[in-house]
Amino acid sequence: MEQQLPMPTQWHEKYKVGIAEIDQQHMDLLRHVETIHAMLAHPKLTKTSIRATMREFAEHVKFHFKFEEDLMFYFNFNDYSTHKETHKFLLMQLKKLVEENGDQVSGARRIANFLQSWLVGHISVDDFVYAKQFNQIAGEEYQLFLEHRQGRRDSEGRPATLDDV
Ligand SMILES: [Fe+2]
Ligand SMILES: [Fe+2]
């Protein structure tokens, strides 16, 4: 039986967009922020391990963005390009912050807090826009999308076409 993870404290039912995989990914990202804060409380951290954790977090964010972009592209949603640009801009900011300050406890905390507020704001506004379109049109075709996407995953379970930002 699958282990039930605790809900992230920043998660709220009102953030649910109604697409199971997306809601799960959003919850996982907020939980990841909490894991980072817990890790940063450890007294014997090296700069290398802090930066590695923050880079891993950035990859996690990137994976989620790509999933959403694939979904929007597949269903030909109106705001695909704008939404993709918003993701791209955030990832550029995130990469820059991680490379500049992501090897120190204080810097990593600031980045995690920044990401947390950004995510909550983005989910509540931008993600709800495509979710509304999805709920109007997708239905059973969503299963086809998931199967289509599954076929393109590499051995790590990530999409085979992750673009570099
Ligand atoms: Fe999202
Ligand atoms: Fe998004």
CATH class of 34-150: mainly alpha
In the chain, the N- to C-terminal Cα span, in Å, equals: 37
pTM score, two decimals?
A: 0.82
Query: How far is ligand 1, taken at its centre, from the CA of residue 38, in Å?
Result: 23
Tell me what pLDDT residue 152 has: 62
Tell me what pLDDT residue 134 has: 84
* pLDDT of residue 11 exceeding 90: no
Which residues are within 5 Å of ligand 2 (an ion), measured at CB? 68, 127
| Nearest ligand by distance to the CA of 120 | 1
Query: How far is ligand 2, taken at its centre, from the CA of residue 110, in Å?
Result: 21
73-106 per-position pLDDT tens digit: 988 888 899 999 999 999 999 999 999 999 999 9
Ordered by start, the domain boundaries in the chain are 34-150
Q: Give the pLDDT band (50/70/90) at residue 132.
A: confident
Query: How far is ligand 2, taken at its centre, from the CA of residue 55, in Å?
Result: 19
User: Hey, is 4 helix, strand or coil?
Assistant: coil
Torsion of CA 164, 65, 60, 108, to 10 degrees: 90
56-75 per-position pLDDT tens digit: 999 999 999 999 999 999 88
Query: How far is ligand 1, taken at its centre, from the CA of residue 46, in Å?
Result: 31
| Nearest ligand by distance to the CA of 87 | 2
Buried-state track 107-116, b at ≥16 Cβ within 10 A, e below 16 = bbbebbeebb
Residues 88, 97: Cα–Cα separation, whole Å: 14
Residues 98, 104: Cα–Cα separation, whole Å: 10
Q: Give the pLDDT band (50/70/90) at residue 142.
A: confident
* pLDDT of residue 5 exceeding 80: no
